[in-house]
């Protein structure tokens, strides 16, 4: 919006005056608009994704540079234009101050120490918060871990709260666990760094929990690390049921690239299944998105692998979401809540199916959604896109 307004300002100004770079006012105006344009470009997702930390830091530096050049560009600095600029700086200062105070409050009693556990393609971090709070599903925290690499004290990475243990007295979290999928930057170094105990700086919690009390039936659909945004909801639902609330059916469909990824949540699922008695409302299915190993023989519908623990099924191939949702809708007397944390293609599919049955399905996308699988336009993943109507 700012860039568009600036362009409009330039077009209108050029109607009444000619452009001359020898005039300082115009020189600084041009510098300011170029700098604002670069700030805007840096925030485009497909640029930011390439080098997140670089883009964020350059954004801050260029943002301040734009304000300074704009100030010099102003004709009447102590008029409305100048006051608006000072006001915007004041707002930036105020929000930064609030964030600093919040972080000091959260870490003021000492820095928590996280224990690292390496899993296949991911890392689990568990810690006891020094200033605990009542955790809700849907919350995430920003972690700063200076020991990971040079300058990592300047990086802050958001991670969903995957699991937590509660204090019996005040229900505040006595232990919090997050799951970080190994990507190419900070998380790769986190996995390979030689330390298993890491002091962390905690910022948060953030995130608005979805109100789930009005539903009895749920379908959770996740791909890959999207599960990190969903497990906490399963825990909250099963714990609520344990306290006597009504819950009819909870179904988790999770698509992964490797079968070994089921260890990311296996222990926690077992705890939930133990708690889910006597009615047994929780079911889950794991879909391994790769070709079956050699010597693998098919059963039933052709892609059944094995029963995974209690009420868990594992398959090779992609889930038939249309069929799964049709079954769940048939078993649901009222509206069900469909919760999705998945790659863009799966999300589009879920949105389409939910729209088709909007009288029976409420649709909710969690704040964190996994990035698209590697590939892109020139190397589309998984071959041609299938028609949803099939
Ligand atoms: C609200 C929210 C919750 C998240 N929860 C989880 C989670 O529970 N588990 C998990 O594995 N991932 C989660 N992520 C994504 C996670 O923050 C990034 O994957 C992680 O920061 C990547 O670090 P990297 O340096 O290894 O990434 P890179 O390999 O440099 O980049 C991989 C991807 O991560 C993005 N990214 C890099 N740094 C950041 C950052 N500081 N903030 C946001 N995105 C970044 C990049 O744009 C890129 O798309 C969450 C993201 C958000 C916004």
Residue-level pLDDT, tens digit, the chain, 390 residues: 778 888 888 888 888 888 888 888 888 888 999 999 999 998 888 888 778 888 888 999 999 899 999 999 888 888 888 898 899 889 989 999 999 999 999 998 999 999 999 999 999 999 999 999 999 999 999 999 999 988 888 889 999 999 999 988 888 999 999 999 998 889 999 999 999 999 999 998 999 999 999 899 999 999 999 999 999 999 999 999 888 888 889 999 999 998 889 899 989 998 998 888 777 889 889 999 877 776 665 554 445 565 555 567 888 888 899 999 999 999 888 899 999 999 999 999 999 999 998 889 999 999 999 987 655 555 555 444 444 444
Pocket probe mutation, ligand 1, options 185, 191, 343, max atoms within 8 Å of Cβ = 185
DSSP letter (8 states) at residue 133: -
By alpha-carbon position, which residue is closest to atom 34 of ligand 1? Answer: 49
pLDDT confidence of residue 342: 96
Say how far apart CA 64 and CA 70 lie, in whole Å. Answer: 10
- Cα distance from N-terminal residue to C-terminal residue, the chain: 42
Pocket probe mutation, ligand 1, options 125, 183, 231, max atoms within 8 Å of Cβ = 183
Q: How many domains does the chain have?
A: 3
Is the CB of 181 within 6 Å of ligand 1?
Answer: yes
Is the CB of 157 within 6 Å of ligand 1?
Answer: yes
Instruction: Indicate whether 262 and 340 sit together in one domain.
Output: yes
Residues 6+ apart with CB under 8 A from 335: 215, 359, 360, 361, 362
Please state, in angstroms and as integers, the Cα–Cα distance from residue 185 to each residue in 22, 192, 288, following that order.
45, 11, 26
Instruction: Indicate whether 98 and 173 sit together in one domain.
Output: no
pLDDT confidence of residue 389: 46
pLDDT confidence of residue 295: 60
By alpha-carbon position, which residue is closest to atom 32 of ligand 1? Answer: 183
Instruction: Indicate whether 22 and 68 sit together in one domain.
Output: yes
Instruction: Indicate whether 161 and 248 sit together in one domain.
Output: no
Instruction: Indicate whether 202 and 340 sit together in one domain.
Output: no
161 neighbors 104 (Cβ within 8 angstroms): no
DSSP E strand boundaries for the chain: 112-119, 122-127, 140-144, 157-166, 173-181, 197-206, 217-223, 249-256, 282-288, 304-307, 312-316, 336-341, 361-365
Structural domain harbouring 142 = 112-206
**Is residue 380 domain-resident?**
no
- For residue 2, the Cα-to-chain-centroid distance in whole angstroms is 27
Is the CB of 139 within 6 Å of ligand 1?
Answer: no
pLDDT confidence of residue 386: 44
Please state, in angstroms and as integers, the Cα–Cα distance from residue 229 to each residue in 158, 181, 269, following that order.
12, 12, 14
């Amino acid at each position: 919006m700012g860039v568009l307004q600036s362009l409009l300002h330039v077009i209108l100004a050029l109607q009444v005056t000619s452009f001359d770079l020898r005039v300082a006012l115009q020189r600084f105006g041009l510098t300011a608009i170029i700098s604002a344009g670069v700030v805007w470009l840096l925030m485009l997702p497909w640029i930011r994704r390439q080098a997140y930390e670089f883009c964020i830091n350059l954004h801050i530096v260029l943002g301040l540079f734009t304000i300074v050049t704009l100030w010099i560009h102003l004709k009447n600095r102590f008029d409305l234009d100048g006051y608006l600029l000072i006001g915007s700086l004041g707002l930036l200062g105020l929000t930064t101050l609030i964030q600093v105070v919040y972080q000091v409050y959260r870490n003021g009693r000492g820095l928590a120490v996280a224990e690292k556990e390496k899993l296949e393609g991911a890392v689990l971090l568990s810690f006891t918060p020094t200033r605990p709070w009542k955790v809700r599903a849907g919350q995430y925290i920003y972690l700063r871990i200076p020991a990971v690499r040079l300058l990592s004290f300047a990086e802050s990475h958001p991670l969903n709260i995957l699991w937590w243990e509660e204090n019996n007295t005040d229900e505040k979290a006595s232990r919090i666990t997050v799951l970080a999928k190994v990507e190419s930057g900070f998380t790769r170094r986190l996995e390979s760094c030689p330390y298993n105990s890491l002091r962390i700086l905690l910022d948060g919690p953030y995130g608005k929990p979805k109100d789930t009390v009005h539903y009895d039936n749920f379908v959770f659909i996740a791909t890959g690390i999207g599960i990190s945004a969903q497990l906490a909801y399963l825990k909250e639902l099963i714990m609520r049921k344990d306290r006597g609330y009504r819950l009819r059916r909870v179904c988790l469909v999770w698509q992964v690239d490797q079968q070994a990824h089921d260890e990311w949540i296996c222990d926690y699922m077992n705890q939930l299944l133990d708690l889910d008695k006597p009615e047994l409302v929780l079911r889950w299915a794991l879909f391994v998105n790769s070709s079956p190993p050699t010597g693998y023989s098919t059963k039933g519908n052709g892609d059944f692998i094995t029963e995974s623990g209690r009420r868990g099924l594992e398959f090779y191939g992609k889930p038939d979401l249309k069929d799964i949702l049709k079954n769940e809708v048939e078993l649901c007397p009222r509206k069900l809540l469909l919760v999705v944390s998945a790659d863009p293609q799966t999300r589009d599919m879920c949105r389409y199916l939910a729209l088709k049955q909007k009288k029976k399905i409420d649709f909710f996308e969690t704040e964190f959604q996994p990035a698209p699988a590697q590939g892109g336009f020139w190397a589309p993943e998984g071959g041609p896109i299938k028609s949803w109507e099939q």
